Amino acid sequence: MLNIDLSGRIALVTGATGDLGRVMVRTLAGCGADIVIHYLNNAGKAEELKREVEELGRRAIAVKGNVTEQADIERIKAEAEAQLGTVDIVVANAVIQYQWTSVLEQSADDYTSQFESCVMQSVYLAKTFVPGMIARGQGGRFIGINTECAMQNFSTQSAYVAGKRGMDGVYRVLAKEVGEHQITVNQVAPGWTISDRDRATQTERNAQYESTVPLKRRGTDQEIANTVAFLASDLSSFITGAFIPVNGGNVMPTI
């Protein structure tokens, strides 16, 4: 019987208090991992998640930091190692939010923010955590949350798409560079996903979007978290360099 068992693993989830991040935290902890809960502003939700993880019998710490600053990421690593141990699962989920508009009207600062939160966050996380995975000698998992938008390239998405497509390049190259150490590097690309925000406002359904999806529905936050847990586990030990859409077939990478 297949079983996702992350016992003895320590996972960092950036942007852990967000709509998708909080479900990733619960799911990884439910599979047995101890969790480093990263947040930027929502300390209350981070502490609530910490209590939830501890109620599952796992260890957790909540750490504030700006993932676009290498010094903050290095501090997160130091706190994680002091309180939990060596992080061997990294989930880069945090992203800066901004107002989408056309290329001609989008602020240059928005392009910079997306580059920093998509590309440089991943670079800083790799520089900070991958050496420890290599030194430990037991492999590791480096997982980035991308988006179906990176393949759609719709109007008003340019800054977001630019950041995520740049991120994609980093992950593909990193996968080749660290593969010999049995460290896998993969991306999960959600579609327009149902989260607690939708459930609270009863906005789970959108007929126009659903009509474009082969499975004729929106995915859920739990389905995204399930894919992350799979990639974090030994079941995915021979998968690296992958861009995995979790969007009901709304976009399909070609060979």
Question: What was the pLDDT predicted at 241?
Answer: 98
Query: What's residue 205's pLDDT?
Result: 93
- Residue 169 · residue 124 · CB < 8 Å: no
Helix, strand, coil share (%) of the chain residues, nearest 5: 45, 15, 40
Distances (CA, A) of 31 to 27, 68, 173, 218, 230: 6, 29, 29, 25, 10
**34-39 vs 89-92, strand pairing mode:** unpaired
* Catalytic annotation present for 98: no
Please give the chain's pLDDT, 255 residues, in tens: 789 999 999 999 999 999 999 999 999 999 999 999 999 999 999 999 999 999 999 999 999 999 999 999 999 999 999 999 999 999 999 999 999 999 999 999 999 999 999 999 999 999 999 999 999 999 999 999 999 999 999 999 999 999 999 999 999 999 999 999 999 999 999 999 999 999 999 999 999 999 999 999 999 999 999 999 999 999 999 999 999 999 999 999 988
Show the tokens assigned to 98: 């901004």
- CATH code that applies to domain 10-246: 3.40.50.720
Tell me what pLDDT residue 255 has.
Answer: 84
* Selected catalytic residue, list 39, 124, 160, 171: 160
Whole-number Å distance between alpha carbons of 162 and 59: 37
* Structure confidence at residue 97 (pLDDT): 94
pLDDT value at residue 1: 78
Structure tokens at 71: 């010094």
